[in-house]
Amino acid sequence: MTELKNKIIIDINQILFDKNLDKGKISIFSMKIFYYISDHLKNNYYENYNNNDNNNSNNNIIYKKSGLCADNVECIINNLFELHQLLLLTDEEIYKLVYNIIITNIKFF
């Protein structure tokens, strides 16, 4: 999870702490989260990912979980942005928020 954490922290600092932050950049952040989660799930939880019989089923599961996580992250970040609360948080606090959303969505999907 350390590699995933590092990627997310870097994007928090580069995208969410940009002085010209807008909803479009928040969408870019959530799309990157989608790809990070998809990649993480493929590499760590689906050992038989390259098996053709399971590939479509695994892809559907991976993309549904990743999409749900990314959508929820985008909603929370947008709400914090609109309420002018986002910049009151540190990158570590935002990471913990994102991490908890990811874990909750994957756990209960």
Indicate whether 34 belongs to any domain: yes
pTM of the model: 0.86
In a domain, 21, yes or no: no
Q: Which domain holds residue 57?
A: 2-10+26-108
Position 106 confidence tier, pLDDT thresholds 50, 70, 90: confident
Q: Is residue 16 part of a domain?
A: no
pLDDT digits (tens, 9 = 90+) for 21-66: 999 999 999 999 999 999 988 888 765 555 555 667 878 888 999 9
Residue 88, domain member (yes or no): yes
| pLDDT score, position 25 | 97
Q: Is residue 15 part of a domain?
A: no
Mean pLDDT within 72-82: 97
In whole angstroms, what is the distance from residue 48 CA to residue 10 CA?
Answer: 30
Per the domain annotation, does 69 fall within a domain?
A: yes
In a domain, residue 46? The reply is yes
Query: Would you state the pLDDT for residue 41?
Result: 86
Closest CA to 75 of 54, 97, 90: 97
Note whether residue 54 is domain-resident.
yes
Structural domains of the chain, count:
1
